[in-house]
Amino acid sequence: MKIAITASENKPEAKLDSRFGRCAYFAIYDTENGSTEFIQNPNKESVEGAGPASVQLIASKGVKQIISGEFGGKVKSILESLQIQMIMFNGPEKSVDEIIKLINQN
């Protein structure tokens, strides 16, 4: 399964970016082969519609779960209709690597 993690930079040590639609990068973690791909978010500076455009980007990568700090109202209904699970992570600041380790523990 592919899981998207919103990231502040394009490296495993990057901290979770709390904004979904305007995050700097998406780390796409594949639980089947353990690989992680970083994709720059082209919607970060969009005047409007960053969330829905980011959903389209993530959906095109075959993602089934998204981990972020928050999700906007428009995004929630779109993700639900696409059956992509939203996981809000509001704990202490964690890196992409630390989040992947948590995923693998479960």
Per-residue pLDDT of the chain (106 residues; tens, 9 = 90+): 999 999 999 999 999 999 999 999 999 999 999 999 999 999 999 989 999 999 999 999 999 999 999 998 889 999 999 999 999 988 778 999 999 999 998 7
Residue-level pLDDT at 72: 86
Residue-level pLDDT at 73: 85
Residue-level pLDDT at 8: 96
Burial letters 52-89, b for 16+ CB under 10 A, else e: bebbebbbeeebebbbbbebeeebeebbeeeebeeeeb
Q: Which amino acid is at 89?
A: F
Would you kindly state where each structural domain of the chain is located, as residue ranges? Answer: 2-105
Q: What own/partner pairs with CB < 8 Å and gap ≥ 24 does 56-62 have?
A: 57/26, 58/4, 58/26, 58/84, 59/84, 61/2, 61/4, 61/26, 61/28, 62/2
Residue-level pLDDT at 44: 94
CATH code assigned to 2-105: 3.30.420.130
**Whole-structure pTM value:** 0.95
Residue-level pLDDT at 93: 87
